[in-house]
Structure 1
């Protein structure tokens, strides 16, 4: 059943309230907050490439507080083990039985801080949970909960001792973006409240976890015209044919984009997707999935410049159909 115009308006109003709530803790970054919330409703995970002190922890905590959920933070280090993330089974002598002790991954919003500092084995364990939504220890499966979202971070500086995420693992993230530093006016506003160490503690839940799941399910019913599907398919194919690109966008990447643009359309109060939705989200959803040719990269080519050229060369559909 396709989303109705009335449902689309309700969705947009509710989404704006969530953005305003999170914006009380993560000030001056509403554009990024909208992207992260879109990922949560898609549903999917986000990779933030940011310097320390830009508000990543505050973002995760404020998201969890706004949707009445739980949040945890995992500081990834070279000696972190997979069991430190997922949990471990321990023998209880009093009950003479094995008990599973849950790891920090069992939360609605998980901040995986500096994920590239952990060993590839620990990274793989984390990414497996992100993909499957559950943990299997000693043959027993444990669901991590719903909604479940990972906000992973990478530090663009101090690369010594880090393990770069392979391109195949980057593909597990729905979006990659950056919070960045606040502007001058926002910085002054933050400094005026310097006595407040954690602004997320003052937030009150705006919706329940069940409502988040309902919004996610409702967004999946947004109508997508066949012409828009054709447009996305052509863009995907062009990324593979571009001479600067060694590996283009996979079908998984195209499916991720479709999930995201359906939410994005509802965020703007529409029950149908338009080509502009594709253009607005193709950057954060696709650019981290490109594998550029080393020679082209050395010559100055970037995933963004390649995508910009492709968008200019592939004509979007001119007409759209509002309902199925």
Structure 2
């Protein structure tokens, strides 16, 4: 007798309201966290790649980024934080589908409709979240220079220039762009005495460019570049962030490491070093995080259908109460 009671209780729990609400709240909370927190493009199991990503990512939650990563909150799609409640919901879906099939002749049409809506809603949620787990991705550390497009590394898709101050924007099917903190963008150009452009190097392995761009923020306050033909190396350090930026520029002899000169600029300006003229222009540059969720439409539809089921449940309760009062 006792052996039969355990499966019966489990079956009752699987078809109960609490057993449905708990995984829904769990997955809903995890989904909101996944939108709020940057998510790693590599799974937590790839230790070296994941550590490199964590070392390079900087969020508005610094200095807690590494702690969040150790808890698995920066890799929600590939950890049990999401997969466990999804499996739970799948089990609830199967149990409710079987129970509805068995009880179909005995329940009213309103109850059938409500329970069917619950199944359809769960189906939409499961499909949406599974699509996100399987095909979703995110990119962090993108910078949107004013008036310029942004190219996504995953798809080579080109996003239009960022407009306005909206923190969340949607592009295409399932691409969400989140504006995070503003960084200080520096546009650097050097000229010689004759007004000719002098090539700049961002590093010893990079290609010489006529114009360089640096991004400085509270997590990465330093930037470096050089002019090999003049034996000069420049270090730019952010002292005061936006909206009234102030940065310190130091010029070194690359061969000896000796400091030649240093100065502090606000917003930008000209620096003269030996026979060179260095122009630094500053502007605010939004840092972007792009999330691709191919199952977003299914997820939204699933929540909508579940909301309709809640309304039917309220109607059903009201009718039952009215019928009970009339019978009394």
TM over 0.5: no
Higher helix share: 1
Larger relative contact order (C-alpha < 8 A, sep ≥ 6)?
A: 1
Q: Which has the larger radius of gyration?
A: 2
Name the TM-score, length of structure 2 as normaliser. Answer: 0.25
Higher strand share: 2
